[in-house]
Amino acid sequence: MNVRNGAKVVHGATIDGGFWKVYRETVAREGITYQWKALNDEIPDASPSGCMRNFRIASGREQGGHTGFVFQDSDAYKWLEAVAYCIRWKGDEAMEALADEAIETIAAAQQPDGYLDTYYIINGLEKRWTNLKNNHELYCAGHMIEAAVAYYQATGKRRLLDVALRFVDHINSVIGPEEGKLHGYPGHPVIEMALMRLYEVTGDEKHLRLAKYFVDQRGQEPLYFREEDKKRAEKNSWGTMEYYQAHKPVREQTEAVGHAVRAMYLYSGMADVARVTDDETLKAACVTLWNNTTRRRMYVTGAVGSTEYGEAFSFDDDLPNDTVYGETCAAIGLVFFARRMLQLRPSAEYADVMERALYNGVISGMDLDGKRFFYVNPLEVWPEACEKDPHKKHVVPQRQKWFGCACCPPNLFRLISSLEDYVAVEDDGTLYVNLYAKGTLNACSGALKFAVETDYPWDGAIRLNCLSDQPAEGVLALRVSGWCKKYTLCVNGEPVKAPMTDGYVRLKRAWKADDQVDLVFDMPVRYVRANPRVREDVGKVALMRGPLCYCLEQADNGDSLHLLKAVTNGETRIERADMLGGITLITAQGEKEVVSPEWNDTLYAEADAPATVPKTLTFIPYYAWANRGLGEMSVWVRS
Amino acid sequence: MNVRNGAKVVHGATIDGGFWKVYRETVAREGITYQWKALNDEIPDASPSGCMRNFRIASGREQGGHTGFVFQDSDAYKWLEAVAYCIRWKGDEAMEALADEAIETIAAAQQPDGYLDTYYIINGLEKRWTNLKNNHELYCAGHMIEAAVAYYQATGKRRLLDVALRFVDHINSVIGPEEGKLHGYPGHPVIEMALMRLYEVTGDEKHLRLAKYFVDQRGQEPLYFREEDKKRAEKNSWGTMEYYQAHKPVREQTEAVGHAVRAMYLYSGMADVARVTDDETLKAACVTLWNNTTRRRMYVTGAVGSTEYGEAFSFDDDLPNDTVYGETCAAIGLVFFARRMLQLRPSAEYADVMERALYNGVISGMDLDGKRFFYVNPLEVWPEACEKDPHKKHVVPQRQKWFGCACCPPNLFRLISSLEDYVAVEDDGTLYVNLYAKGTLNACSGALKFAVETDYPWDGAIRLNCLSDQPAEGVLALRVSGWCKKYTLCVNGEPVKAPMTDGYVRLKRAWKADDQVDLVFDMPVRYVRANPRVREDVGKVALMRGPLCYCLEQADNGDSLHLLKAVTNGETRIERADMLGGITLITAQGEKEVVSPEWNDTLYAEADAPATVPKTLTFIPYYAWANRGLGEMSVWVRS
């Protein structure tokens, strides 16, 4: 195998202030604590998770049956992964002790042959590996690996890593290209990405080989999932092959289809494998799927998955705002995919989408207290319709405490608490900065170090102070967002002209301590339109500023948001406001259609265009919606 | 019971030319012949109906099981009813012979106790009357009565009428207020209207009493359908009480809910009973339900039923154009309801809705050849979405040959072939003309007779020539449509001023032969808007002329209809065109948004309002859409 690493993630970055710090603290303080209670069934009135109990039962320490979904184990792993990132961030002995205890509970359930999945251990091992399509053994294994690697990297402790390595050895003994093994692949991807991390941390190529096998084998005839269905004599097996992205070999796939989270996870794994194996056809497939995803099937908030049928992608340009699925996990998956595309080839195009998803469709999934969550992230809500229209019953207009299928909250936790891994990548001596957050950047080589000061995304000014102990040659490539039309760049107070390629402005110099870079993005309010192919958004605009997508809420604008119109050439005003955890509020010139009393009893009439009255429209960041009770919301407004 | 008849339907009217004659001939020539073959399983490749065979099996003339739905018998009755109207219209010995034969086949299946429902006769009589909620025995009985009365009125033959009377006697022995009888009512109304016709033709008050019982008993606690479910020990009984309009007593119902056809049929029966019993609370309930239906829950085409979930009404102002149900039968039901409201109190408001439904949402259900049919009548179609979006899978963008559940085509046949019964009503010496069609009007009293000449709806000129043999005192009340802003009225060539009340202009005189009335409606093209509460139509207009709603089709306007805009103060041009069976085509000034090449690879961008180019928009009558292959269609257009 021709192995090349591509751009490396800058794991040495930190985030220690500003916008994201609040989120990280909320996750560490509220989320992780709450979830630990949930995993241990210590939350009154919540449906029982049984997660940790399942491990105890599987290890014989407790009696009982399996509780929850077939993928219940993954909740513990996601929790551990988030815990690992919190510890990496700023240590926490109590949390680490808790995690060590959880790891022991997990390890105790591992079977002599390395197998570890409580669902099958409890319900009968003779049935394991018979339903890769729907029963999530490889998915749970993947999350175990992610947790194991993260925890090892954060604490140096190998306990869970060793458990994971034994489990992977077992998987390798059961699945693979050799005769007598199952020629299968996961019904829900994640292990592909996870194995690539395991390869990264161990250097053992067998992990790369298994990841590549899962990617390559998918969609090969005879279709494994069909064969598996036959073996189980399952007549009405649930799910189309498209749902699993298993309808054709991945290199022949050109459209983002099926379950959106599965798709994003698969494409992420493909990009990892393509990068490390320097596989041009696989890279090309990633680019094709990326383009289809982000140019035809993505919401302005970075949400993906247009339909609740299969929580799935639908078809090009089909982006309904009120019946969207837009699962939080799918937007998270898009962030995973984007970073891996950046590792294939640093280009601001990928970082733009990553940023779009992060600041909008990802964090909209959580309330400002970190206690309530959206699974579905709509762009338009009329609460009465959510209640009464079965087409919209999946669109819950207020965040919920926790879910029976609790995939989104812990996924949010692990992403938010590892966000420094998304800040920058390094390739060939160039440090590509993709996200701007207060903190530090340490290039992988260690030579280049910067402190980053910024109030982004509220303000477009970013200051980088070089922290390098000794002068270091290198290129600092600063992403200029696609939304930015104008910026200034100074080094040590002097304006500089620097070349711009692939959306990065590049500063090449021998950096020395206290070199100061000031990048200031002009950050005006923007009225954004959708491609005219998108029927749902025709004649409408969305208001954005910087990476943030804004929305209208009933709390600020009254009801009947559909009667409002933006005056796109009118004045707008920005204002830091204490509300909603501290936001930049935008007020803009608008109009409201006047409803004349003649309409009281009339449904249809010959009538002139309705009169309008001026009305100031108040926009809040989309992510902060639904924090003030039930009401209408809309991202898109008529213009 | 206080019996008063209210306004009488003018059964002596005829339609013998113009717009409706074509439809009637199509129905008589194509529809009825085709349906007879369908009922007799003589259509290759169609799913078997088994309808006539079921009767032969039930009478022991043939062996076998029951084929089709529990309401399969009703297909034969609807066919017979339409045949009766065709015979009344212009006789047809061959058709009458066929009908007599069918009636004998039906009569032979009647049980000694009068019962007649092939589903239970074949499957076991011991189960009859145990599932009024879903098994349609009373529905089939209702359609039998409708057919029996129509056939008796058309031919004077009592054979089927006697069968029906015996069946009704049987029903009276099983269901009713007396102890020991079932205190039930139909799961699908129609028998209420039918019994009122039976009462009208026989004068026997027991039919009125049973109709009134069905109306009054509905929704009384304990809810009969719930009790029935319990008796059958059915745990997951299908359907909510709202679906059946059985959730509360009818006089307490204020909103049109549930299955739209059931609702329209029930309200029609209620209006019949309210009129004849002079029941003020029931009349008030009819008015309330009428207002809710037509002012909050009706499409501009007269379609009703906003959702495919339960083929049902949804909630106020919820009128999506692309996921609408709008069943042809529901629009037909609205016509039934409207005429009965006219009989309660002649008012142009009711006739306006009747006309709206007839010319648009009813006849859109059939293609111009009478061979293909819509069950669902959307106001906006993007064929790709119908194919790929599960929310729109019920919206079939092209008419189909016949349906497994063949309720709509024969319902269309019986309405179209009896349309003269909707032309006028008479009350207290006033002849109220509600529809304008070439033909004759004979007031019930026989004294007033007019020949009607018109090319309506293509032209607004209507000429009535008095045919009375001898001078007759009377009021001719001519409806002025709600859409008409200007009209002229002449009697014998002289302009007259006549009082206008309830939307009728009234001419009182001693009419004599050759008196001539000329009513000319100004019939401009109108841009109509929906009530601003209707979110789906905000910022849009529908083009109408006279009673006809128009639409844009891809065949005339290219694809991407969402990029078109109407210039509502621009020029419009009308033109009689040979296409689509002969229509008035409307071209209007419009614009099309230009899609700039920058959008090729971009999904969202800061952009000015798109440039537009002038574009002539071509509108065809909505009823004629989908006669030229697959393509986009839209009634509402941005303005």
Per-residue pLDDT band for B457 (boundaries 50, 70, 90) equals very high
Same domain, B397 and B330: yes
B300 vs A: CB within 8 A: yes
Q: Does residue B605 belong to the interface with chain A, where contact is any CB pair within 8 Å?
A: yes
- On whether any CB of chain A is under 8 Å from the CB of B442, the answer is no
Q: Which of B380, B369, B299 is nearest to B553 (CA)?
A: B380
- Residues of chain B with pLDDT > 90: what percent? 89
Contact by Cβ (8 Å): B171, B119 = no
Residue B400: DSSP 8-state: B
A313 and A412 together in one domain = yes
Q: Is residue A412's pLDDT more than 80?
A: yes
Return residues 365-424 of A near B (CB < 8 Å).
382, 384-385, 388-391
Task: Look at residues A503, A515, A597, A585 and name the one whose alpha carbon lies nearest to residue A550.
Answer: A585
B178 close contact with A: CB closer than 8 A: no
Please state, in angstroms and rounded to a whole number, the distance separating the CA atoms of residues B191 and B172.
13
pLDDT score recorded for residue A236? 63
Q: Which of residues 584-603 of A touch B (CB under 8 A)?
A: 593, 595, 599, 601-603
Which of B422, B457, B490 marks a domain boundary? B422
pLDDT score, position B446: 76
Of A562, A570, A558, give the one whose Cα is nearest residue A525: A570
Residue B603 has its nearest CB partner, among A294, A483, A603, at: A294
What does the angle CA B451 – CA B454 – CA B457 come to, to the nearest 5 degrees?
A: 140
Query: A37 and A135: one domain?
Result: yes
Residue A27 lies in a domain: yes
pLDDT band at A43 (very low <50, low <70, confident <90, very high): confident
pLDDT of residue A404: 61
* Range of the structural domain that residue B491 is part of: 425-521
| CB-based contact, A607 to chain B, within 8 Å | yes
Distance between CA atoms of residues A35 and B265, nearest Å: 54
Residues A327, A474, single domain; the answer is: no
Do the Cβ atoms of B595 and A318 come within 8 Å?
A: no
CA gap A84, A443 in Å, rounded: 22
- Which has the minimum average pLDDT: A3-7, A460-464, B571-575? A3-7
Same-domain check for residues A60 and A183: yes
Helix, strand or coil, per DSSP, at residue A13:
coil
Residue B1: band (very low, low, confident or very high) from pLDDT cuts 50, 70, 90: low
Cross-chain residue pair B529–A295, CB shorter than 8 Å: no
Q: Which of B407, B408, B466, B484 is catalytic?
A: B407
Across the interface, whether the CB atoms of A307 and B563 are under 8 A apart is answered no
The tens digit of pLDDT for each residue in B77-93 reads 999 999 999 999 989 99
Task: Note whether B473 and B543 are same-domain residues.
Answer: no
* pLDDT higher than threshold 70 for residue A325: yes
b/e per residue A217-231 (b: at least 16 CB within 10 A): bbbeeebbbeebbee
B234 vs A329 pLDDT, higher one: A329
Distance from CA of A486 to the nearest CA of B (A): 14
Average pLDDT score over residue span B208-225: 97
Asked if residue A12 and residue A141 are part of one domain, the reply reads yes
Residue at which a domain ends, from B406, B422, B438: B422
pLDDT in tens, B12-28: 899 999 999 999 999 99
What pLDDT shows up at residue B30? Answer: 87
Whether A542 sits inside 8 A of B604 (CB atoms) is yes
pLDDT digits (tens, 9 = 90+) for B104-138: 999 999 999 999 999 999 999 999 999 999 999 99
Domain membership flag for residue A527? no
pLDDT band (50, 70, 90) for residue B408: confident
Contact residues on chain B for A298, CB-CB shorter than 8 A: 603
What is the structure's pLDDT at A235? Answer: 66
Q: Phi, psi (5° rounding) for residue B248? A: -155, 165
pLDDT tens-place string over residues B151-200: 999 999 999 999 999 999 999 999 999 999 999 999 999 999 999 999 99
Shortest distance between the Cα of A299 and any Cα of chain B, in A, equals 9
Contact A603 B531 (CB under 8 A): yes
Check the CA dihedral A502-A505-A510-A513 and report its sign.
negative
A·B CB contacts under 8 A: 129
B264: pLDDT strictly greater than 70: yes
**Nearest CB to B529; choose among A389, A607, A639:** A607
Peptide bond preceding A222: is omega within 30 degrees of 0, i.e. cis?
yes
> pLDDT band at B46, cuts 50/70/90?
confident
**CB–CB of B74/B146 below 8 Å?**
no
Quick check: pTM over 0.90? yes
The overall average pLDDT reported for chain A is 95
Chain B contact probe: residue of A317, A381, A604 with most B CBs at under 10 A: A604
**pLDDT for residue A469 is more than 90:** no
Residue where the block lists tokens 């029941």 = B279
| Residue A482 CA: distances (Å) to CA of B91, B252, B607 | 76, 60, 13
**Catalytic positions of A, written as ranges:** 311, 407
State the total domains in chain A.
Answer: 3
Paired with A461 in beta bridges are A520
Catalytic residue from among B308, B311, B380, B553:
B311
The pLDDT of residue A606 is above 80? yes
**Spatial separation of the C-alpha atoms in residues A471 and B192, rounded to whole Å:** 95
Query: Which of B422, B450, B472 is the C-terminal boundary of a domain?
Result: B422
A494 and A542: one domain? no
Question: Using CA of residue A191, residue A196, residue A202, residue A203, what is the dihedral sign?
Answer: positive
Q: Per-residue pLDDT for B403 more than 70?
A: no
End-to-end alpha-carbon separation of chain B, Å?
55
Inter-chain residue contact B604 with A531, CB threshold 8 Å: yes
pLDDT digits (tens, 9 = 90+) for A273-302: 999 999 999 999 999 999 999 999 999 999
**B94 — contact with chain A (CB < 8 Å)?**
no
Structural domain includes residue B445: yes
Q: What is the pLDDT of residues B490-546, one digit of tens each?
A: 999 999 999 999 999 999 999 999 999 999 999 999 999 999 999 999 999 999 999
Put simply, the chain B residues between 25 and 44 with a CB less than 8 A from any chain A CB are none
Q: Is A295 on the interface with B (CB under 8 A)?
A: yes
Provide the pLDDT confidence category of residue B47 given band limits of 50, 70 and 90.
Answer: confident
ipTM for this model: 0.96
Which burial class, exposed, middle or buried, applies to B522 when counting CB atoms under 10 A from its CB (0-12, 13-18, 19+)?
Answer: exposed
* A605: contact with B, CB 8 A cutoff: yes
Is the minimum CB–CB distance between B323 and chain A shorter than 8 Å?
yes
A2 domain-assigned: no
Mean pLDDT of A168-195: 98
For residue B461, report the phi and psi dihedrals to the nearest 5 degrees: -90, 130
The whole-number pLDDT of residue A559 equals 97
Q: Is B45 exposed, middle or buried (0-12, 13-18, 19+ CB in 10 A)?
A: exposed
What is d(CA A606, CA A64) in angstroms, rounded to the nearest whole number?
Answer: 70
**Is A528 a member of any domain?**
no
Residues A515 and A543 both lie in one domain = no
B89 within a domain of the structure (yes/no): yes
Percent of chain B at pLDDT exceeding 70: 98
For chain B, give the mean pLDDT: 95
Instruction: Indicate whether A146 belongs to any domain.
Output: yes
Residues 478-517 in B contacting A (C-alpha not used; CB under 8 Å): 483, 485
Q: For residues A591 and A618, state if they share a domain.
A: yes
Per-residue pLDDT for A401 more than 90?
Answer: no
Chain A residues 120-159 with a CB less than 8 Å from chain B: none
Regarding whether B569 and B463 lie in a shared domain, the answer is no
* pLDDT score recorded for residue A6: 85
Q: Are B607 and A529 an interchain contact pair (Cβ–Cβ within 8 Å)? A: yes
Contact A532 B599 (CB under 8 A): yes
Q: What is the mean pLDDT of residues B141-147?
A: 98
Q: How many Å apart are CA A361 and CA A403, to the nearest integer?
A: 18
Nearest to residue B338, comparing CAs of B301, B299, B289? B289
CA–CA separation, A69 vs A60, rounded Å? 20
Active site residue B473: no
Task: Read off the CATH number of the domain in which A507 is found.
Answer: 2.60.40
Residue A87 belongs to a domain with what CATH number? 1.50.10
The pLDDT-based confidence of A362 (bands split at 50, 70, 90) is: very high
**In whole angstroms, what is the distance from residue A377 CA to residue A398 CA?**
10
Is B429 found in the same domain as B415? no
Which chain B residues are Cβ-neighbours of A638 within 8 angstroms?
538-539
Asked whether the predicted pLDDT for residue B235 surpasses 70, the reply is no
On whether residue B371 sits in a domain, the answer given is yes
